[in-house]
């Protein structure tokens, strides 16, 4: 049960039933609807090749011509080849040696009378579920069960065919073979469930990336948002959420700035409001992955026998993450943060865990800690409760 749906928990948007799982195609369609409803022109199949900036404008040079604007919001994800003129350049990348194979399909795919049918029936009895299977040969299997779609995600050692791309489609048989070989203890219903996977499976090669503090260009008219500014390891389960929060925060900062001349301050304030929050959440990608793969559950664990304790990995998110309103935060904090970035006055972000003392990290420091088997302590720094 997600933290915000637990009994007695009230979040800041009680009139909205917040699901714990949204499918990408549906989500993209909602966003497209909204952009079209606002009358914003879209140019599909157009590649940005270069962006140039002067004191009062930016020009985005594409393969279909140039676009002039007051500000360029670079939301080009991790794969961009565009040399954005942002100091610091691209974040350092290290191959983790692992991959996650993912697929979603309609629940009707599971044949009636098959061993996996019991899993589908459990949705009617217990509602949507997010199941995690850990242990064994450094693997984990997550199963998502909703009233229309079901999905699974299997973390495993990468092989030559694993690649960091949504287009890296593999035959499910390849992955199912790895699942079967990883343990002799699999529940037969689970194995039957994955064996009934239709179509192809995306096998995403997992790469660690450094956290970079500056997302704005020198003149402040180019701002990176989403994965382009801060790539997430999928075990953080928060990259898309933070990309969206960026959009909301930036829009409010631009609104607060009021004039075209003030746009560079708006992008810098947005960056200062967001960096620490995002950096902490990026770090959870390392911590969650480590916990999921290296947990051992003994009689002291707080969950019933065989279940993953709720304080482990994904399950401990914290109110500070899901109860945040980035629009309201930007509105309330804009002036104080502006005085900080422009005049050097003191400012402390409050969109991080209450009581948290921010510690910067690098890919190297996290990698070293994990290699030495060290405990992170991230989720004990400040209040991560409900």
Ligand X SMILES: Cc1cc2nc3c(=O)[nH]c(=O)nc-3n(C[C@H](O)[C@H](O)[C@H](O)COP(=O)(O)OP(=O)(O)OC[C@H]3O[C@@H](n4cnc5c(N)ncnc54)[C@H](O)[C@@H]3O)c2cc1C
- Residue 75, C-beta contacts closer than 8 angstroms, at least 6 positions apart: 224, 225, 226, 228, 243, 247
- By CB under 6 A, is residue 9 in contact with ligand X? no
**Cβ 349 to ligand X, closest distance in Å?**
20
Task: Indicate which residue of 6, 23, 24, 102 is catalytic.
Answer: 102
Task: State which residue, 77 or 127, has the beta carbon closest to ligand X.
Answer: 77
Q: Which long-range contacts (CB under 8 A, 24 or more apart) does 121-130 make?
A: 123/147, 128/19, 128/20, 128/21, 130/2, 130/20, 130/21
**Cβ 190 to ligand X, closest distance in Å?**
20
- By CB under 6 A, is residue 12 in contact with ligand X? no
Backbone angles phi, psi at 123, to 5 degrees: -65, -40
- By CB under 6 A, is residue 83 in contact with ligand X? no
Task: State which residue, 56 or 166, has the beta carbon closest to ligand X.
Answer: 166
For residues 201 and 175, is the Cβ–Cβ distance under 8 A?
yes
Task: State which residue, 67 or 367, has the beta carbon closest to ligand X.
Answer: 67
Residue choice 23, 69, 80, 130 for contact with ligand X (CB under 6 A)? 80
* Annotation says 102 is catalytic: yes
Site for ligand X in 26-65 (CB under 6 A): 47-48
Residue choice 3, 53, 76, 245 for contact with ligand X (CB under 6 A)? 76
User: How many chain residues touch ligand X (CB under 6 A)?
Assistant: 22
Return the C-alpha torsion angle 24, 27, 31, 34, nearest 10.
Answer: 160
**Cβ 227 to ligand X, closest distance in Å?**
4
Distance separating alpha carbons of residues 140 and 288, to the nearest angstrom:
12
Q: Kindly state the tokens that stand for 97.
A: 């040696």
- By CB under 6 A, is residue 309 in contact with ligand X? no
SS (H, E, C) 6-33: CCCCCCCCCCCCCCCCCCHHHHHHHHHH
* Residues recognised as catalytic: 102
Residues lying near ligand X in the complex (CB under 6 A) are found at 47-48, 75-77, 79-80, 82, 100, 102, 204, 226-228, 232, 234, 237-241, 243
């Amino acid at each position: 049960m997600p933290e915000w749906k637990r009994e007695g928990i009230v979040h800041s948007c009680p009139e909205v039933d917040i699901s714990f799982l949204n499918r990408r195609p549906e989500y993209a369609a909602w966003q497209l609807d909204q952009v079209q409803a606002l009358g914003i022109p879209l140019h599909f199949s157009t590649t940005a090749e270069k962006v140039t900036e002067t004191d009062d404008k930016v020009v985005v040079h594409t393969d279909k011509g140039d676009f002039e604007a007051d500000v360029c919001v670079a939301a080009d994800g991790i794969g961009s080849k565009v040399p954005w003129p942002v100091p610091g350049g691209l974040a350092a990348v290290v191959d983790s040696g692992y991959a996650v194979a993912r697929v979603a399909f309609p629940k009707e795919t599971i044949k009636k009378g098959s061993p996996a049918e019991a899993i589908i029936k459990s949705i009617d009895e217990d509602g949507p579920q997010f199941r995690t299977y850990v242990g064994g040969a450094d693997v984990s299997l997550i199963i998502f069960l909703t009233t229309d779609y079901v999905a699974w995600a299997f973390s495993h050692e990468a092989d030559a065919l694993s690649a960091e791309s949504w287009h890296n489609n593999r035959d499910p048989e390849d992955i199912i073979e790895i699942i079967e070989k990883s343990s002799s203890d699999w529940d037969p219903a689970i194995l039957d469930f994955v064996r009934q996977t239709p179509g192809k499976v995306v096998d995403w090669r997992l790469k660690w990336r450094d956290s970079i503090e500056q997302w704005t260009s020198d003149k402040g008219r180019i701002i990176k948002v989403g994965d382009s500014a801060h790539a997430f390891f999928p075990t953080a389960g928060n990259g898309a959420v933070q990309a969206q929060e960026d959009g909301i925060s930036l829009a409010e900062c631009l609104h607060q700035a009021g004039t075209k001349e003030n746009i560079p301050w708006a992008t810098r304030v947005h960056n200062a409001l967001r960096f620490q929050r995002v950096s902490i959440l990026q770090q959870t990608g390392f911590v969650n992955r480590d916990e999921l793969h290296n947990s051992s559950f003994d009689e002291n664990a707080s969950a019933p026998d065989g279940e993953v304790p709720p304080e482990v990995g994904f399950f401990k998110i914290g109110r500070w993450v899901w109860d945040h309103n980035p629009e309201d935060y930007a509105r309330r904090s804009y002036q104080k943060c502006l005085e900080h970035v422009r005049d050097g006055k003191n400012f402390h972000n409050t969109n991080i865990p209450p009581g948290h003392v921010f510690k910067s990290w690098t890919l190297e420091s996290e990698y070293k800690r994990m290699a030495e088997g060290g405990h992170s302590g991230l989720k004990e720094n400040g209040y991560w409760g409900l």
